[in-house]
Structure 1
Amino acid sequence: MVLNILTIVVLIALVALIGVIVAFLGMLPGKIAKGRNHPQAEAINVASWLGIITAGLLWPFALIWAYIRPHEQSAAAGSEKLASLESRIETLEEQVRDLGGTP
């Protein structure tokens, strides 16, 4: 009788441990993404939980996605670069005119 009760307690503890491990793995990519200030952290968190639900098929992709940071290009940086290139072209055209050529 004592052995049966001990067996049930061990089985319940194992099920609880498996639940804790699954919950930890489900949260891991989302926490990594939030810790790294990833702009798509919430999407990574959702993908991670969907990966756990699908028996781990999507989970590795969520983990990799948490570590990959997309290229950040702002419109202001692009317009500054464009203005810089335009001024450089004007300078070069003036130099060509000064040398006697036609731009």
Structure 2
Amino acid sequence: MLDYFALGLLIFVFITLFYGVIVIHDIPYEIAKKRNHPQQDAIHVAGWVSLFTLHVLWPFLWIWATLYREDRGWGFTDGAQGGSGIEAQLKQAQEQISSLNERLQDIEQQAQQGGQG
């Protein structure tokens, strides 16, 4: 009787560990789904691939899933800039270009005045 109990316990532990590994590898996907990550399907597939690569990819998937947040995107822009990150960078680049154009015109005028005198 104890042999059957031990066999049942061994099978139960094996199935629990197997299921636990699968659940642990779905944690980055669950994080990505909760944060409405734009690449959550890729994270899910990479989690399954990580099972076959001896879990090498799993820490990177965790990082990838946690970097994105719906309210601030990837978080690489300063919130004080106003607007979205790309729009603020575009506006800043346009201001720099117009400033450089004004400086170039001033230098050209000075060069023309110096050459005439």
Cα RMSD of the aligned pairs, angstroms, is 3.0
Q: What's 1:20 paired with?
A: 19
State the alpha-carbon separation in 2 of the partners of residues 23 and 65 from structure 1: 19
Q: What's 1:50 paired with?
A: 49
Deviation at 1:87, TM superposition (A): 6.8
State the alpha-carbon separation in 1 of the partners of residues 91 and 43 from structure 2: 32
Contact persistence 1:29–1:63 (CA under 8 A): yes
Residue 32 (structure 2) pairs with residue 33 (structure 1): yes
Identity of aligned residues (%): 30
Deviation at 1:55, TM superposition (A): 1.8
Deviation at 1:80, TM superposition (A): 4.6
State the alpha-carbon separation in 1 of the partners of residues 52 and 101 from structure 2: 59
State the alpha-carbon separation in 1 of the partners of residues 63 and 96 from structure 2: 37
Unpaired stretches in structure 1, ≥5 consecutive residues? none
Cα offsets for 1:50-72 (capped at 9, x unmatched)? 22222211111111111113358
Deviation at 1:78, TM superposition (A): 4.9
Q: How many correspondences in the alignment?
A: 98
State the alpha-carbon separation in 2 of the partners of residues 58 and 90 from structure 1: 48
Unpaired stretches in structure 2, ≥5 consecutive residues? 69-73, 78-84, 111-117
